[in-house]
Amino acid sequence: MTEYLAVDGSTLAYEVTGSGPLVVLAHGMGDSRDAYRAVIPSLVAAGYRVAALDMRGSGESGVDWPAWSRTALAGDLLAVIRHLGGPALLVGHSISGGAATIAAAQEPALVTAVVELAPFTRKQSIGFGDLRVKRVRQGMMRLLGAGVLGSVRLWRSYLDVAYPDTKPADWDERLDRIDSLMREPGRKKAFRGMARSAPADAGEQLGNVECPVLVIMGTLDPDWADPQAEGSAIIASLPSGLGRLEMIEGAGHYPHDQFPDEVASLLLAFFGSEAVRA
């Protein structure tokens, strides 16, 4: 059942399932809480209370917001955690990975641990060498076109590259749902706002994080020529000993949707680890 929280003059939509320690799931741009549909049952079965959030401008959340930065998104995450009675284990994908970093740094008492899925958490730079990698070249052209033009067609085309080889069983329905949401009034503005948001604000907060962090990257993520190097750089920017990197072979930019069982296993092992329980 969808619930709503008034924040910053608009509304955030979310859905809570299960009981136990709170887990908040935050999706990437151009998506909705549906991205976690295959991961949630495993978390609930393991005894967690799972809140899947539609980020501002996305899903069933409102479209009228003053800002689209990761810092703004972090404020939304913290508002939801306070409302639901934190602290929370916070999971963020792509742009929301950076938002989760900021939230943890700003309010350490509200965030027990952070999981970043294919996160944009650092200032990015693209070299000519990166463009020699076919998947990066294909993904970047589609992603830039979608972000600049707000093109649903180009976004769907990017997603085909971002889900290499392995597609979810409900792939057609998933794309149709994304397409339908993106065409609603105000959704393209939100998408373009997030696409223009640089991750520098998240990178500046990496050194201020106090909780354990798990970074999960796919080996075939089209957003980086070397996804493992990007994940390792995030870990290196955290205080020593806080971060851990896991790679999922064959995954693209959406490991939690391509390989939900593997991602759920990594989440549960991390949540139950001595570092997080402490």
Superfamily of domain 3-277, CATH level 4: Alpha/Beta hydrolase fold, catalytic domain (3.40.50.1820)
Rounded CA gap, 243 and 87, in Å?
A: 19
Residues 6+ apart with CB under 8 A from 273: 212
Q: Are 65 and 190 in contact (CB under 8 A)?
A: yes
Predicted confidence at residue 193, as pLDDT, reads 93
**Residue 209 φ/ψ region, left for φ over 0, alpha for ψ in the -120 to 50 degree band, beta for the rest:** beta
Q: Which residue has the tokens 């899903």?
A: 59
H helices of 46-131, in order, are: 70-84, 95-106
Of 272, 265, 264, nearest in space to 36 by CA: 264
Predicted confidence at residue 112, as pLDDT, reads 97
Rounded CA gap, 120 and 203, in Å?
A: 9
Residue-wise pLDDT tens for the chain (278 aa)? 999 999 989 999 999 999 999 999 999 999 999 999 999 999 999 999 999 999 999 999 999 999 999 999 999 999 999 999 989 999 999 999 999 999 999 999 999 999 999 999 998 877 767 778 788 888 888 988 888 888 999 999 999 999 998 999 999 999 999 999 999 999 999 999 999 999 999 999 999 999 999 999 999 999 999 999 999 999 999 999 999 999 999 999 999 999 999 999 999 999 999 888 87
* Strand partners of residue 4: 13
* Strand partners of residue 245: 215
Predicted confidence at residue 124, as pLDDT, reads 80
In angstroms, how far is the first alpha carbon of the chain from the final one? 33
Of 154, 159, 263, nearest in space to 218 by CA: 263
The domain ranges of the chain are 3-277
Q: Is 46 helix (H, G, I), strand (E, B) or coil?
A: coil
DSSP string computed for 171-212? HHHHHHHHHHHHTSTTHHHHHHHHHT--THHHHTTGGG--S-
For helices 134-149 and 152-162, the axis angle rounded to 10 degrees is 150
pTM of the model: 0.95
Predicted confidence at residue 128, as pLDDT, reads 67
Rounded CA gap, 157 and 220, in Å?
A: 16
